[in-house]
A and B are shown apart, each in its own frame.
Chain A
Amino acid sequence: MSYEILGITVLWIFLYGYLIVASIDFGAGFYSFFSLITGKRHRIHPIVERYLTPVWEVTNVFLVFFFVGIIGFFPETAYYYGTSLLVPGSIAIVLLAIRGVYYVYSQYGNRNNKFYMFLYGVSGLLIPASLSIVLTLSEGGYIHEQGGVVSLDYHALFTSAYSWSVVVLAIVSVLYISAMFLTYYAAKAKDKEALDILRSYALFWSVPTILCSLWVFFAIQRHNLDHFNKMVDNAWFFIASFICYVIAVYLVWKRSRLQLSFVMVMLQFGFAFFGYGKSHLPYILVPYLTLHEHFTNESMALALVIVFLLGLLVLVPSLYLLLRLFLFDASYVRGKLSKK
């Protein structure tokens, strides 16, 4: 495997990791707020809180890792995306800041403050939308370079069916992934009431999720036919994704094997995400950046790969410990603390 393939694969895995953990996080924040205004808060909030509190900071690191990594492996992305993303990127930063901070304020500082919960619940839905702009831009047609100045064509962006399809998919899938996860978590906690509510959310959002996925598919066909054709060549990714989706929703419907159901959700998005990524190559940004021509120099690539492998040696056991203590520990999940 060449360094550039390894590099982009690593980055894509981390972006996928962020997609999953951030979706759970953002969606959970929204449900927490939603349950507050619909008067069901006491029923699902303990579940949401127990999961979210120890992991919020980790979620953020996945994102930082991705954007630091992409500049390391593909320095020219800084030039193109950096210049064109000033406004949408800044908006995303502001939203992330507000959400992160008010989440912590409401957890540790001033519990049950409605305004704080509103801020982090609602910003959580806008963040995926603002971050997904990067994926939209990568398809080309929105960024122009003229006389050494890179600029973003806002008119093209806001009037394009493709960009809107991505935004809607981002929001809908956040609500879907999150509800599917929390359903599993509630079942693990043996919390029947929370399970019922969360299950209905999960089933509700499963329909728009698959419809939006189809919409994105056809929007790509109109926006970037070349990419669409490559996606058709890799059709088995998307078929596998759909099969996983069907299994996941069926299991939730049947209320059985919910852990497997969430694994299926991860596979559903995994197949779709990697299928999309694979068919996007060799372009990082159509038509300016490609995988092979805009890769960093040999020695930096080697250094980054070495550091990355060493980093994983520390990271994987630590993440495992975190999951074992807060996700797989039955008594913690049920809200009972045990001495070990």
Chain B
Amino acid sequence: MSHYDPVIYSRMLTTLTLAFHIIYATIGVGVPMLIALAEWMGIKRKDPHYLLLARRWARGYTITVAVGVVTGTAIGLQLSLLWPSFMLVAGQSIALPLFMETFAFFIEAIFLGIYLYTWNRFRNPMKHFMLLIPVVIGSSGSAFFITCVNAFMNTPRGFNISDTGKLTDVQPFLAMFTASMPTKAAHVLATAYVTASFILGAMAAMALLKGKNHVYYRKALKITMVAGLIFSLATILIGDLSGKYLAAYQPEKLAAGEWHFKTERYAPLIVGGILDDQNQVHYALKIPYALSILSHGLPSAEVQGLDETPKDLQPPLWIHYMFDLMVSIGMLLLFIGLWYVIAMRRRRKSGESARPLNKLLLSLIVVGAPLSVISIEAGWIYTEVGRQPWILVGFMKTVQGATKSEHVDLMLWIFAGLYLILGVSSAYVLRRMFKHHPAEEELKGGGSKA
């Protein structure tokens, strides 16, 4: 690439920042929920194991939060630095949820600070638990509000553009509650909880695989896998609703993602496969009627094909692979959760619940953690690339929103270096943290040390 094109570099830098941030952001949204579950169970059952679980998770969580906060600040500033023309429009129409997001972030930041330093300050443990509620509301709230902004980019409304390019009739609340908002926000939250469940579950499964058979790890696995199963079910349900939303509002994204070229009834769903230069699909599994059912709930329903979208407004067809990756991992996670719950029920009935779990199941849980993160990435790539060439669907092309500034290429390299350092160092610090303070040792000490 000898020619400097700020648009390409802006897209690359934004992709890089978001792809990196989303890992920590997802953990940031999901983990407080699981810490809250563990601490609540610990208090209710007077079980020090669950309390220690909450405490150890919280300690590791501070590290991921730090990376999440700084990369979140980066993307917040980069929006204006890389997409000034887009932000000019967005500032007038979608500033409200952006603004609310900072309030949610504020609340989360304040109460997380208090929560982490008050383990021993309250006589009544419920008081300490209550501090976590604003953290959960704050972290999930900021995910909700920022997803509103993204939903707006997919289905903008609540404003008009006059012939001179000026924004008129701005209705901030209407812009916030757009067609894609409910499914998007619900999907984002549910998948964040699933991912956090599997990441924390994998830590316990790893310990069990290494032969540690302390009841602490079995309890950790139980709480995370049950939560993981429930949230996976919710995710799949919401995923189905998202399909119906896409069919109604962004049929070109669905058509590109499903390689559905011609409008037709009884549309089959294409799973897997490879596309050749002539747009012929090979090696794919075709599930009859499934796309019609996914789109409209009826096998006979007509699904709009890609041929109804002008060539220059079609999203790239490779997003199909992202869709398949996301869905198949989602299904696998559901399967792992089910397997775990069934296995545990059997054990309890036969009175062998202390017997170590099947190694394959434990290994699958360990693999489930990185897979769930990959699924999040794939899902976001699908939704973001699926609305190309638009930055504001129907109103502004991505090319028009980008900066004209110089040096974007240099910034790309600087940030790539930064994220590499942050990624490696956070993994290193986290590993060290848990390795140097094994749970068994803390349990011996009564589990009360901070």
A263 at the interface (CB under 8 A from B): no
User: What is the CA–CA distance of A79 and B83 in the complex, to the nearest angstrom?
Assistant: 8
Q: Is the CB of B429 within 8 A of A109?
A: yes
List the A side residues contacting B110 at CB < 8 Å.
58, 318-319, 321-322
Question: Which positions 38-87 of chain B face chain A at CB distance < 8 Å?
Answer: 59, 62-63, 65-67, 69-74, 76-78, 80-85, 87
21 CB contacts below 8 A, A to B, read A53-B117, A60-B73, A61-B102, A63-B73, A65-B106, A68-B76, A68-B99, A82-B81, A83-B405, A86-B408, A90-B411, A97-B73, A100-B70, A101-B422, A108-B433, A109-B429, A109-B433, A150-B405, A299-B170, A314-B107, A318-B107
Contacts A54-B117, A89-B77, A296-B92 known; 5 new A-B pairs at CB < 8 A: A54-B113, A87-B410, A93-B73, A101-B425, A300-B92
Query: B91: which of A75, A90, A92 is its contact (CB, 8 Å)?
Result: A75
Q: Is the CB of B84 within 8 A of A100?
A: no
Given contacts A57-B113, A108-B63, A149-B404, contact A101 B70 (CB under 8 A): yes
B151-175 interface code vs A (CB 8 A; 1 in, 0 out): 0000000000000000100111100
Q: Which residue of B has the minimal Cβ distance to A55?
A: B113
List the A side residues contacting B109 at CB < 8 Å.
57-58, 60-61
The A interface is mostly helix, strand or loop, or mixed, namely helix
A325 at the interface (CB under 8 A from B): yes
Given contacts A104-B63, A304-B95, contact A75 B88 (CB under 8 A): yes
A165 at the interface (CB under 8 A from B): no
Among B63, B67, B105, B405, the most chain A Cβ lie within 10 Å of the Cβ of: B405
A144-158 interface code vs B (CB 8 A; 1 in, 0 out): 000011110000000
A34 at the interface (CB under 8 A from B): no
Which 10 residue pairs spanning A and B have beta carbons closest together?
A75-B91, A72-B95, A109-B429, A82-B84, A104-B66, A78-B87, A82-B80, A54-B113, A57-B109, A97-B70
Shortest beta-carbon distance from B174 to chain A in Å: 10
List the B side residues contacting A58 at CB < 8 Å.
106, 109-110, 113
Shortest beta-carbon distance from A21 to chain B in Å: 12
Shortest beta-carbon distance from B109 to chain A in Å: 4
Among A82, A151, A318, the most chain B Cβ lie within 10 Å of the Cβ of: A82
User: What is the CA–CA distance of A147 and B116 in the complex, to the nearest angstrom?
Assistant: 53
Shortest beta-carbon distance from B229 to chain A in Å: 31
Shortest beta-carbon distance from B19 to chain A in Å: 16
Q: Which residue of B has the minimal Cβ distance to A299?
A: B170
List the A side residues contacting B404 at CB < 8 Å.
83, 148-150
Given contacts A58-B110, A86-B407, contact A96 B66 (CB under 8 A): no
A94 at the interface (CB under 8 A from B): yes
User: What is the CA–CA distance of A305 and B201 in the complex, to the nearest angstrom?
Assistant: 43
Question: Which positions 281-340 of chain A face chain B at CB distance < 8 Å?
Answer: 296-297, 299-300, 303-304, 307-308, 311, 314-315, 318-319, 321-322, 325-326, 332, 337-340
User: What is the CA–CA distance of A307 and B429 in the complex, to the nearest angstrom?
Assistant: 39
Question: Which positions 79-128 of chain A face chain B at CB distance < 8 Å?
Answer: 79-87, 89-90, 92-94, 96-98, 100-101, 103-105, 107-110
Query: B405: which of A86, A107, A304 is its contact (CB, 8 Å)?
Result: A86
Q: Is the CB of A109 within 8 A of B432?
A: yes
User: What is the CA–CA distance of A60 and B424 in the complex, to the nearest angstrom?
Assistant: 23
Q: Which residue of B has the minimal Cβ distance to A60?
A: B69
List the A side residues contacting B111 at CB < 8 Å.
318
Shortest beta-carbon distance from A332 to chain B in Å: 8
Given contacts A68-B76, A93-B78, contact A75 B67 (CB under 8 A): no
A76 at the interface (CB under 8 A from B): yes
Interface residues of B (CB under 8 A from A): 59, 62-63, 65-67, 69-74, 76-78, 80-85, 87-93, 95-96, 98-103, 105-107, 109-114, 116-118, 120-123, 127, 134, 167, 170-173, 403-408, 410-411, 414-415, 418, 421-422, 425-426, 429-430, 432-433
List the A side residues contacting B67 at CB < 8 Å.
101
A67 at the interface (CB under 8 A from B): yes
User: What is the CA–CA distance of A324 and B294 in the complex, to the nearest angstrom?
Assistant: 54
Please give the number of chain A residues whose Cβ is less than 8 angstroms from any Cβ of chain B in the complex: 73
User: What is the CA–CA distance of A183 and B167 in the complex, to the nearest angstrom?
Assistant: 52
Given contacts A81-B80, A97-B418, contact A57 B123 (CB under 8 A): no
Given contacts A108-B63, A296-B95, A322-B114, contact A67 B77 (CB under 8 A): yes
Q: Is the CB of A338 within 8 A of B405?
A: no
List the B side residues contacting A46 at CB < 8 Å.
none
Q: Is the CB of B66 within 8 A of A100?
A: yes
Q: Is the CB of A78 within 8 A of B433?
A: no
List the B side residues contacting A78 at CB < 8 Å.
80, 84, 87-88, 91
User: What is the CA–CA distance of A90 and B74 in the complex, to the nearest angstrom?
Assistant: 8
Query: B172: which of A73, A83, A104, A299 is its contact (CB, 8 Å)?
Result: A299
Shortest beta-carbon distance from A131 to chain B in Å: 11
List the B side residues contacting A74 at CB < 8 Å.
91
Given contacts A296-B92, A315-B106, A318-B107, contact A339 B122 (CB under 8 A): yes
User: What is the CA–CA distance of A94 and B415 in the complex, to the nearest angstrom?
Assistant: 7
Shortest beta-carbon distance from A301 to chain B in Å: 9
Shortest beta-carbon distance from A78 to chain B in Å: 4
List the B side residues contacting A337 at CB < 8 Å.
120-121
Q: Which residue of B has the minimal Cβ distance to A89?
A: B81
Among B102, B171, B411, B433, the most chain A Cβ lie within 10 Å of the Cβ of: B102
Q: Is the CB of B116 within 8 A of A71?
A: no
Query: A297: which of B73, B134, B170, B415 is its contact (CB, 8 Å)?
Result: B170
Shortest beta-carbon distance from A116 to chain B in Å: 9
